[in-house]
Structure 1
């Protein structure tokens, strides 16, 4: 059974809209270059913000800007009282260090929850913003009444914005978590023994039907495009058909992620 994110998105949207009526909020998006997929995502944020009355301002810089120059621009945004949240759109150009740029943010305006200060709060299980895609994964699971406590979860991918923080967030829900990556031995065995599989490797159709059980719940957080520009996840359609439940791509986790980003915006400054 395919599951979709629209209902979760709309519920979060209404929540954020109510808060925005009583709390001045604004979002700045830092974009370097004009990569097409980034532009589509940014347009989604602008449309979402327009629907709920939150201004979204895009600060676009040429791909040739130096890391030092970009950091100076981010620090200006840090100091602007009109801006309550800042997002740095990735990917950044190859000559920039992602961690250095991200940590130049004021952590109190880090709407993605990926500054080291905010990631540290996840480890300590303190209240605060959480990375938006892991939040979307957990929201999707809870919305479809998938038990997390005691569940055996296998995460495919260990990135600092998805796999690694998601593992910590799921452990806080009392799940038993295995994080897999390119050096994992017997990867198929790890996938087969899981109650829940979260695919976030960035490899189109990597998970095939022979890898999953019929009672498995699959969350596909992959976004890949073929030569015709059609979007695919990390999980093959046949694997999703075999599983008990699987999130759609498109229309699944990606739909919720923008809503979770704006939910984070309401939490900043608290």
Structure 2
């Protein structure tokens, strides 16, 4: 039976560590860390995500003001709010919740964020730093995956890793982080020929395609570590991932559940990135 990589439990442990670190650092900085959140529109999933992030920030002692804007907010108004947060000395990280309404160009908004406050790690400057191997703010989901592997003592060095998906949010940074940890990395995507042949080579398989239950046991080598980043709802409203857990779990050596695997680690890493930016801006170790 596979080891269940319980992201929910690990995220709780990380939050406890973050809370203690903030308790010690806040008197030195004269304030707690600050995370400014901009939410545009009424997307239920976005509001749910922001609520979870708000609760996690409150638990850890992070100041997290929210700017809630209506769906018909203009691009210029969102830019103005980003500028205010960039200039606010109490704010160390800025999160613009995606997706934005179609009339607001996402790239324009993300480019406006100060790279030193870009706790999502999406700014081209931070992407470039990641590519060349500089220490920087890295997207939360792939960083959370690396933390999960590390805390569970799963070796990466010298392993064959296959990443399914090539998005800027997960797939590409995931591959770069695995490469930096000395794995041999293959990126697969919707146009990859003979996909199952590629995935069956993986010691570590990261599924981030957004295709529910696509990865069955036929795609997985016996003893592989399987990380399921996908999350969606099936016809019955149940949350499922990209991996068919029931068929894969008996042959994997370790696997993340959905829910309760990678998702909580993403929020824990958002807090960690905020704390990292806070320490850098306040010259704290």
Deviates more, 1:117-126 or 1:9-18: 9-18
The runs of at least 4 aligned residues of structure 1 exceeding 4 Å deviation read none
- Alignment length, in residue pairs? 270
Deviates more, 1:64-73 or 1:213-222: 64-73
The whole-number CA distance in structure 2 between the counterparts of 1:30 and 1:227 is 31
Distance 1:68 1:227, change over 3 A: farther
When the two structures are superposed, what TM-score results if normalisation uses the length of structure 1?
0.95
Alpha-carbon shift at residue 38 of structure 1 (Å) = 1.4
Alpha-carbon shift at residue 253 of structure 1 (Å) = 0.7
Q: Matches of residues 164-183 of structure 1 in structure 2 within 5 Å? A: 164-183=172-191
The whole-number CA distance in structure 1 between the counterparts of 2:149 and 2:204 is 9
Match for residue 213 of structure 1?
221
The whole-number CA distance in structure 1 between the counterparts of 2:107 and 2:198 is 30
When the two structures are superposed, what TM-score results if normalisation uses the length of structure 2?
0.90
Q: Matches of residues 1-270 of structure 1 in structure 2 within 5 Å? A: 1=2, 2-21=4-23, 22-23=25-26, 24-237=32-245, 238-268=247-277, 270=280
The whole-number CA distance in structure 2 between the counterparts of 1:128 and 1:11 is 23
1:128 and 1:267 in contact (8 A); partners too = no
CA RMSD across the alignment? 1.5
Secondary structure, aligned partner of 2:155? coil
Secondary structure, aligned partner of 2:120? coil
1:136 and 1:257 in contact (8 A); partners too = yes
Alpha-carbon shift at residue 209 of structure 1 (Å) = 1.6
Alpha-carbon shift at residue 11 of structure 1 (Å) = 2.9
Deviates more, 1:252-261 or 1:61-70: 61-70
Q: Name structure 2 gaps, 5 residues minimum.
A: 27-31, 281-285
Q: Name structure 1 gaps, 5 residues minimum.
A: none
The whole-number CA distance in structure 1 between the counterparts of 2:260 and 2:17 is 20
Secondary structure, aligned partner of 1:218? strand
The whole-number CA distance in structure 1 between the counterparts of 2:219 and 2:8 is 28
The whole-number CA distance in structure 2 between the counterparts of 1:101 and 1:183 is 30
Match for residue 283 of structure 2?
none
